[in-house]
Amino acid sequence: MSVTHLGMPTVPGKGNIVEPSPFPQVAELELGKIQMRTNLARATSTIRGKRLARVAEVPNWEELRDHGSAVKTAVMDRLPELLEQFEHNVTARGGHVHWARDADEANAIVARLVEEHAPVLDTGRREVIKVKSMATQEIGLNEHLEEIGIDAYETDLAELIVQLGHDRPSHILVPAIHRNRREIREIFLREMPDVDPDLTDDPTALAEASRKHLRRKFLSTPVAVSGANFGIAETGTLSVVESEGNGRMCVTLPETLITVMGIEKILPRFADLGTFMQLLPRSSTGERMNPYTSFWTGVTPGDGPQNVHVVLLDNGRTRALADEHGRQALHCIRCSACMNVCPVYERTGGHAYGSVYPGPIGAILSPLLTGTDAGANDTLPYASSLCGACYDACPVKIDIPQMLVRLRNEDTETKARKTGRLPRTQLDAALTAASWVMSDGRRMAVAEKSLPLAHLLTGPEGIRSLPGVAGKWTHSRTLPQPPEQSFRSWWKKERGTR
């Protein structure tokens, strides 16, 4: 099939968040969940430490990052050509390729394939097993299938925890990062009909309970749905990288395998994997290599799935591709390194972002895919301190801080076009006043004369409460006591000159 739709506008799906609320409102609620914040801080700290140790072992780490970035840049420049090459090679090896402009098309394709290959059970419903896939979360596949009588069972341990807990993922790589092992035990005892009532919260016991729970599904379900970390254009090969082996069960045991892959996941050559197989595991889980990396190419008679389908998902990606600067967001290999170093994500968690892709990468990817005026996307670029830690951690050098600034500017200009004026808030007024004072030395000197009085009135405990927009700052932190004198005053006193 032709790739003529590349570059055309898409109608993105809503994913599994129907009407997301603005980031500040949701973040304020999430900040109040003390146990969640404790779980997040412990988990992200552990992952950060492991990643730093593994990266330090690689003397040419920066060269690997440069090469990974260069490969992804070349992919974006040649994307239509590479996708057609990929389609040709998948088809030549017995597979089938389907093109989906948006979530609705992708969901309809998967649903039709499941209905063709999965039998109706005694319950009157069909079943599929799934290995973790951000693309299927993005399009809300599970919810769509459930509505038409198809039950999708997650087999990734973290995704299973989220599904059984009637929860939502809060992390790209570790969807249940906001849960601790005691909470997981309670979920298993409540939701698993065949679980041992004496189950403990020991990680080994929890893993064994999930293994027994899933085993029957692996052996009896004829249709599986997977994502893909990479698709290789020159061979038509697909790859899933994971840590538990459940993904390998999904892509080898069922008779029918349906892979939903974002069009940006293409790599030109098999040899390019050498770089990304070093970057991805170290950046994601702090491992030298992933325990399980599965590859499959088309159909092999008598071995593995005999009905192999690939759904190439656009869903706003050509919109991002058309943005000369923003297209670098499509370089993302979903390692989650940016989330694990982000001070905002660590305190608010993934649910605060109101989108399938949370954290720094989600703050740019969601607005790029669907626009800053879609849902609560206009608030996401502001969910950052612009500290730059995400750029330093990104294995393919996506300049997330720079794009956040650009998206903030785009949001401001969009609102100005709609209203005929720039939006005015307390923060705008405060920044305007500060700019006026600080742009003139004499005005700054007059303002500094208030420091001794502010120092006296505040006291050593600092400022714990401020009115208006400044109150959002002091709600979670204390401003230190102002100094007794300004540097200008100190210099004049000590040196006798201005």
pLDDT of residue 325: 85
Residue where a domain stops, chosen among 419, 438, 458: 419
φ, ψ of residue 155 in degrees (nearest 5): -110, -20
Residue 362 sits in the same domain as residue 445: no
Q: Which of 419, 447, 467 corresponds to the end of one domain?
A: 419
Q: What is the pLDDT of residue 220?
A: 92
- 401 shares a domain with 446: no
Q: Tokens in use for 202?
A: 């020991």
Residues 172 and 117 in one domain: yes
Residue 346 sits in the same domain as residue 380: yes
Q: What is the pLDDT of residue 84?
A: 98
Q: Which of 419, 444, 474 is the last residue of a domain?
A: 419
Query: Are 210 and 148 found together in one domain?
Result: yes
Domain that includes residue 465, residue range? 426-495
Pairing of strands 292-297, 237-242: antiparallel
Residue 216: Cβ within 10 Å count: 10
356 with 210, same domain? yes
pLDDT in tens, the chain (498 residues): 333 333 333 334 444 444 567 887 777 677 667 788 888 888 899 999 999 999 999 999 999 999 999 999 999 999 999 999 999 999 999 999 999 999 999 999 999 999 999 999 999 999 999 997 899 999 999 999 999 999 999 999 999 999 999 998 889 988 998 999 999 999 999 999 889 999 999 999 999 999 999 988 999 999 999 999 999 999 999 999 998 889 999 999 999 999 999 999 999 999 999 999 999 999 999 999 989 999 999 999 999 999 999 999 999 999 999 988 889 999 999 999 999 999 999 888 888 888 889 999 999 998 888 776 666 778 889 889 999 999 999 999 999 999 999 988 888 787 777 776 665 677 777 778 888 988 988 898 888 888 888 888 888 888 888 887 677 767 767 888 888 888 888 888 888 765
All residues at 6 or more sequence positions from 225 whose CB lies less than 8 Å from its CB, including other chains: 110, 114, 128, 129, 130, 131, 133, 136, 141, 152, 258, 259, 260
Residues 414 and 439 in one domain: no
pTM: 0.82
284 and 433: one domain? no
Structure confidence at residue 125 (pLDDT)? 96
How many domains does the chain fold into?
2
Kindly state whether residues 365 and 436 are assigned to the same domain: no
Is residue 406 within a helix (H) or strand (E), and if so which, with residue range?
Answer: helix 400-419
Sign for the pseudo-dihedral over CA of 189, 193, 197, 199: negative
Residues 340, 360 within the same domain: yes
DSSP letter assigned to residue 91: H
| One domain for residues 410 and 475 | no
Question: Whole-angstrom distance between the N-terminal and C-terminal Cα of the chain?
Answer: 74
Contacts of 45 (CB under 8 A, 6+ apart): none
Amino acid at 37: R
Same domain, 84 and 37: yes
Helices (H), 177-272: 181-191, 203-220, 246-252
Q: What is the CATH number of the domain that holds 317?
A: 3.40.50.10420
